[in-house]
Amino acid sequence: MHDAFLIKKPWVTERATDLSKLGKYVFIVKRGATKPEVKKAVKEIYKVDVIAVNIVNRPDKRKRSGPVMGRQPGYKKAIVTLKEGQKIDIQ
């Protein structure tokens, strides 16, 4: 059984949409997620065969608004490559 909240949401941007035409889908995942965990979760949730998983870890950014310093939270993205001919319907 996988962690039901390992995959937070699909990442829908113009670039991610272009990648989906190549059989690659982008998801925001938990910070502690590993490649094997993401592969297993996507396979169980979407019933597809996963070939590869690439992880991008974006760190926090410091932002200034006048005299106040703040933080823009970071996140972890997983780019999942599916077996040729398979696709996921993400709306």
pLDDT at 18 over 80: yes
What is the tens place of the pLDDT at every residue in 29-75?
A: 999 999 999 999 999 999 999 999 999 999 999 999 999 999 999 99
Strand partners, 80: 25, 53
Closest CA to 35 of 5, 73, 67, 80: 80
CATH pick for 7-82 out of 3.30.70.100, 3.30.70.360, 3.10.20.600, 3.30.70.330? 3.30.70.330
Quote the distance between the C-alpha of residue 71 and its chain's center.
21
Domain ranges of the chain: 7-82
Q: Give residues with Cβ within 8 angstroms of 15, minimum separation 6.
A: none
Q: pLDDT at position 5, please?
A: 87
Q: Which helix (H) or strand (E) holds 46?
A: helix 35-46
Residue 91 — very low, low, confident or very high, per pLDDT cuts 50/70/90?
A: low
Q: pLDDT at position 3, please?
A: 72
Strand partners, 29: 7, 76
Task: Note the pTM of the prediction, 2 decimals.
Answer: 0.86
